[in-house]
Structure 1
């Protein structure tokens, strides 16, 4: 019998709300590695990712009363980690370069390329080599699954800037991967 993860962790979350530190540790232990990976993908720095994850857990436990089970605890926590990572990058002044609409015309492509398993490691290395602004867009869109409207809201940019940055990032990523 498959168990819904939201209900599996609901009792832990409720125990955390009641102040049980052992339940907090259990939730922390369950999610820390996954949240570190999210933070690291955005920040590209081990120490920054560790700091962001710790801050995210502290904030999550402080704001646990606002968690209403509209998603899983993990999805809620992941959103906190992503927002903190982006805010950290903004504080470091990692800016996206806005483009004028007339400067570049987007075209829709219907062709989907599925990378070979060997190419996945090249793609990961390529993403790591992207400039931080491009890395953000690629991570939000391809890895985390946000759409351009959500990315625009998160990064406080226009939807067209999100799309153009994604296109430029993808083009640069393909160039990097072809050189690896």
Structure 2
């Protein structure tokens, strides 16, 4: 227990590393990298679906973070700030490579009204195997996979997703609704296997 840092100690240590990075310390950069690289790699991998590509994106994101460290104001945790850089860089690169496979995000023809209580299909996610949920998300068309990854896995809210994907709130709600509906259909297939 003596080796475990409390949350406050962890925050102080991170703040100290950030300050040392601002002063140009390569050791501090290396320590921050070691502290966050696994989580940031996994974030990139969930978006781009390629280990080598995710590694490159993660490295480039850290470089960007270290060169822009003075713009970090501490309004959110350093991990959240870094994650946003990784997500944006992952999406930008993914879109460049996959222009042909991605449908334009703003090509949504109708608005889906918010479903009332009891209107959505009920699936007991607690009983499902996590790999089934992940496999179902990965099998969705790219726009749906991206939006659900940002929503469920990365934990962004709709407003943040609008900003990240550069779409308006109505289109975002529609895409999330359609993606959830598609995911529920995929999961019901797993339920009957």
TM surpasses 0.5: yes
Distance apart, 1:170 and its partner CA: 1.3
Deviation at 1:8, TM superposition (A): 2.4
Q: TM-score, normalised by structure 1?
A: 0.88
TM-score after normalising by structure 2:
0.83
1:1-180 paired onto structure 2 within 5 Å: 2-4=6-8, 5-92=10-97, 93=99, 94-95=102-103, 96=105, 98-101=107-110, 104-111=111-118, 114-180=124-190
Task: Quote how far apart the aligned CAs of 1:6 are.
Answer: 3.0
Paired with 2:125 and 2:89, the residues of 1 have a C-alpha distance of 31
RMSD: 2.0
Q: Would you say the 8 A contact 1:141–1:148 is kept in 2?
A: yes
Q: 8 Å contact 2:40–2:58 — kept in the other structure?
A: yes
Deviates more, 1:134-143 or 1:148-157: 148-157
C-alpha distance after superposition, 1:88-140 (max 9, x if no partner):
12213233362223xx5323233575512443221011111122211111011
**Is the contact made by 1:6 and 1:73 (CA closer than 8 Å) also made in structure 2?**
no
Q: How far apart, CA to CA, are the structure 1 residues paired with 2:81 and 2:158?
A: 20
Q: Unpaired runs of 5+ in structure 1? A: none
Q: For 2:30 and 2:6, how far apart are their aligned partners in 1?
A: 24
Aligned pair count reads 178
Q: Secondary structure at the match of 1:138?
A: helix
- Is contact 2:145-2:179 (8 Å) kept? yes
Partners of 2:188 and 2:123 in 1: CA distance: 14
SS of match in other structure, 1:69:
coil
Structure 2: distance between partners of 1:47 and 1:79: 20
Q: Alpha-carbon deviation of 1:2?
A: 3.3
Higher helix share: 1
Q: Is 2:44–2:86's contact at 8 Å kept on the other side of the alignment?
A: yes
Q: Would you identify which runs of 4 or more consecutive aligned residues in structure 1 move more than 4 Å?
A: 111-114
